[in-house]
A and B are shown apart, each in its own frame.
Chain A
Amino acid sequence: MKLNEEYKELAWQGLWKNNPGLVQLLGLCPLLAVTSTVANALGLGLATLLVLVCSNATVSAIRQWVPKEIRIPIFVLIIAAFVTCVQLLMNAYTYGIYQSLGIFLPLIVTNCAIIGRAEAYASKNPIKQASFDGLMMGIGFAAVLVVLGAMREVLGQGTLFDGAHLLLGEWAKTLRIEVLTLDSQFLLAILPPGAFIAMGLLIAVKNAIDDRAAKHQPQVEEQSIERVRVNFES
């Protein structure tokens, strides 16, 4: 029963309260650079998710044998190994997405969200919890990527899931939705400044939701002892 609570807390932390994209603001470089379409965002999100789960599990498995002094290089080596695997896999099976992600796929190695989780959680906790934490953090990160990608794709090109078949196979061509018909592309949404503005708006929305939720919570009264001054002389 207690274990169940722990997993719930991990999921809540990864998906919302401590979301790597919206709260920790880690891995902003790929977050802002490749989210011009949903397909790209999903591709990078899945790659990061896979690397995060595998690296968390591995780091957690070897945590007893890693000397404290050189743990960071070891973590980086582990992450780099998994990124290479993912990169080769994507090169083999989803070549279109591999090409459009370009340098940002190998750059997952330097994604602070991954090394942050390895250092802060996986190196101190058992394998099961560590991989679950990696999964939840990865899903949280991928969700932010996809939402950002959707915002920018709708504003920029007026479509959704354009190019999804590059990632998911030929059937996904039917996923493409023409949301708006634009006379001309809204280039700002596709260019990096648009990513910053959209990201800022997303964070603002999250904070607004949190504020509202905090207001609806019943206020916990501060229990304090009131001292009554007793003065018999006057």
Chain B
Amino acid sequence: MAFWIASSPHNHIQSQTSALMRLVILATIPGIIAQWYFFGWGNIIHISLAVVTALLSEFLVLSLRNKPIKTELFDGSAILTAILLGICMPAIAPWWVTVIGAIFAIVIVKQLYGGLGHNPFNPAMAAYVMLLISFPVEMTTWLPPLQLVSIEYTFADTLWMIFTDSTSLGYSAEQLRTHIDGYTMATPLDTLKTSITTGLTVTESISSPVFGNYFALGWEWINLGFLIGGLFLLAKGAIHWAAPFSFLASLFVCSLIAHLISPDLNPSTMFYWMSGATMLGAFFILTDPVSGATSVKGRLVFGALAGLLVFVIRNFGGYPDAVAFAVLLCNMAAPLIDVYTRPRTFGHNVEMK
């Protein structure tokens, strides 16, 4: 009779990809609820569209590649990618934009590079950037928060809008975006960028109603929602603190310097944190274990570079928000960062000859 003796460790925690993905998906909920509260049903519709498309295309590619469909299809990674893409979409973008984006994210960015764990770029962000440069008009028809719009619209109206380009009463997207005073509203970041280029100071431009009382009406709560989700993930140990911390710190330092040098041209540091996709990027995109850097030092550099890029592109670039571009550029730099921040093997000298 042979006794089977296992070597240590004897205590296993089976942390599976699907459990991790489920946790991250759960953590997006506060942010999505804030989005729903301020911008209506649009994003939830886009998320469901993206999830369905992503699962279908993942199924197709997996069966073409003769991969185990059941385990890989439901490991949650495709669903998470789709949810992140859906969160980034403007609420009333047409349905086919999301469908093309989800197909691109799964088929080209993820599966053609070899599937989960092999993709050099974050699929959701790559798809978002692809959509943004391909369909600039559809991808920038942002709705103002519900408090500011002059036309009331319901779930059915949003659905109608996404699938037919007009609400059931025949309002166009342009009309939905109109303020009571009759002008079209953009996102806070966009408004700020436009008014600064027309020669207004920051204080003058944030008197526009889209900024609300604090930083950016609606957007601040969405960012807080994602911050809560991110802190939850940190507490659960699902993500590492290094990348979000250094990203936010670097964005803070850059914007603080700029704000101190010329407060008329640069908004406050908290505006950078609380507008656009900052918190989503910090806790849900940059922490992607596949396309980011691996060591702690590497992640610190990775996050700091992303923060610097976000600041530079938001201030000097052609696009109002920059998280997606910054993340893609950092994804490209990640292998190089990994080479230069390789941890020292225990017992080896720092200067290896």
Within 8 Å of chain A (Cβ to Cβ): is B163?
Answer: no
Give the contacting residue for B133; candidates A183, A184, A188; CB below 8 A.
A188
Residue-wise interface mask of B (223-248) relative to A, using a CB-CB cutoff of 8 A (1 in contact, 0 not): 00000000000000000000000000
B100: nearest chain-A partner, CB-CB? A186
Point out the residues of chain A lying under 8 angstroms from B2, CB to CB: none
Does B108 contact A197, Cβ atoms closer than 8 Å? Answer: yes
Within 8 Å of chain B (Cβ to Cβ): is A202?
Answer: no
* Contact residues on A (Cβ < 8 Å of other chain), bracket: under 10
Point out the residues of chain B lying under 8 angstroms from A197, CB to CB: 108
Does A184 contact B130, Cβ atoms closer than 8 Å? Answer: no
Restricting to A168-201, which residues have a CB under 8 Å from any CB of B? 183-184, 186-189, 191, 193, 197
Whole-angstrom distance from the CB of A154 to the nearest CB of chain B?
15
Point out the residues of chain A lying under 8 angstroms from B134, CB to CB: 186-189
Task: State the CA gap A40–B83 with chains docked (Å).
Answer: 40
Point out the residues of chain A lying under 8 angstroms from B108, CB to CB: 197
- Among B135-143, B194-202, B212-220, the stretch in contact with A: B135-143
Task: State the CA gap A193–B135 with chains docked (Å).
Answer: 14
Point out the residues of chain A lying under 8 angstroms from B133, CB to CB: 187-188, 191, 193
A191: nearest chain-B partner, CB-CB? B133
B165: nearest chain-A partner, CB-CB? A183
Task: State the CA gap A193–B134 with chains docked (Å).
Answer: 11
- Most chain A C-beta atoms within 10 Å of own C-beta, residue among B94, B108, B134: B134
Residue-wise interface mask of A (17-40) relative to B, using a CB-CB cutoff of 8 A (1 in contact, 0 not): 000000000000000000000000
Point out the residues of chain A lying under 8 angstroms from B135, CB to CB: 184, 186-187
Point out the residues of chain A lying under 8 angstroms from B137, CB to CB: 184
The DSSP consensus for interface residues of chain A is helix
Point out the residues of chain A lying under 8 angstroms from B138, CB to CB: 184
Point out the residues of chain A lying under 8 angstroms from B136, CB to CB: 187
The number of chain B residues with a CB under 8 A from chain A is 9
Task: State the CA gap A187–B135 with chains docked (Å).
Answer: 7
Task: State the CA gap A109–B137 with chains docked (Å).
Answer: 39
Whole-angstrom distance from the CB of B164 to the nearest CB of chain A?
12
Point out the residues of chain B lying under 8 angstroms from A188, CB to CB: 130, 133-134
Whole-angstrom distance from the CB of B336 to the nearest CB of chain A?
21
Task: State the CA gap A189–B135 with chains docked (Å).
Answer: 11
Task: State the CA gap A189–B130 with chains docked (Å).
Answer: 10
A194: nearest chain-B partner, CB-CB? B134
Point out the residues of chain B lying under 8 angstroms from A191, CB to CB: 133
Whole-angstrom distance from the CB of A174 to the nearest CB of chain B?
30
Whole-angstrom distance from the CB of A198 to the nearest CB of chain B?
11
Task: State the CA gap A114–B147 with chains docked (Å).
Answer: 64
Whole-angstrom distance from the CB of B318 to the nearest CB of chain A?
14
Whole-angstrom distance from the CB of B298 to the nearest CB of chain A?
27
B94: nearest chain-A partner, CB-CB? A183
Point out the residues of chain B lying under 8 angstroms from A189, CB to CB: 134
Point out the residues of chain B lying under 8 angstroms from A193, CB to CB: 133
Restricting to B115-136, which residues have a CB under 8 Å from any CB of A? 130, 133-136
B108: nearest chain-A partner, CB-CB? A197
Task: State the CA gap A28–B135 with chains docked (Å).
Answer: 26
Task: State the CA gap A184–B138 with chains docked (Å).
Answer: 9
Task: State the CA gap A197–B133 with chains docked (Å).
Answer: 15
Task: State the CA gap A99–B136 with chains docked (Å).
Answer: 27
Task: State the CA gap A191–B133 with chains docked (Å).
Answer: 9
Task: State the CA gap A93–B130 with chains docked (Å).
Answer: 39
Point out the residues of chain B lying under 8 angstroms from A187, CB to CB: 133-136
A186: nearest chain-B partner, CB-CB? B134
Whole-angstrom distance from the CB of A180 to the nearest CB of chain B?
12
A200: nearest chain-B partner, CB-CB? B112
Whole-angstrom distance from the CB of A152 to the nearest CB of chain B?
12
Task: State the CA gap A184–B94 with chains docked (Å).
Answer: 11
A187: nearest chain-B partner, CB-CB? B134
Whole-angstrom distance from the CB of B251 to the nearest CB of chain A?
27
B138: nearest chain-A partner, CB-CB? A184
Task: State the CA gap A188–B132 with chains docked (Å).
Answer: 9
Task: State the CA gap A193–B138 with chains docked (Å).
Answer: 20
Whole-angstrom distance from the CB of B60 to the nearest CB of chain A?
15
Whole-angstrom distance from the CB of A207 to the nearest CB of chain B?
13
Task: State the CA gap A197–B134 with chains docked (Å).
Answer: 14
15 cross-chain CB contacts under 8 A = A184-B135, A184-B137, A184-B138, A186-B135, A187-B133, A187-B134, A187-B135, A187-B136, A188-B130, A188-B133, A188-B134, A189-B134, A191-B133, A193-B133, A197-B108
15 more A-B residue pairs beyond the given contacts A187-B134, A193-B133, with a C-beta to C-beta distance below 8 A: A183-B94, A184-B135, A184-B137, A184-B138, A186-B134, A186-B135, A187-B133, A187-B135, A187-B136, A188-B130, A188-B133, A188-B134, A189-B134, A191-B133, A197-B108
Residues of B within 8 A of A (CB): 94, 108, 130, 133-138
Nearest 8 A/B pairs, CB to CB: A188-B134, A187-B134, A186-B134, A188-B130, A184-B135, A187-B133, A184-B137, A188-B133
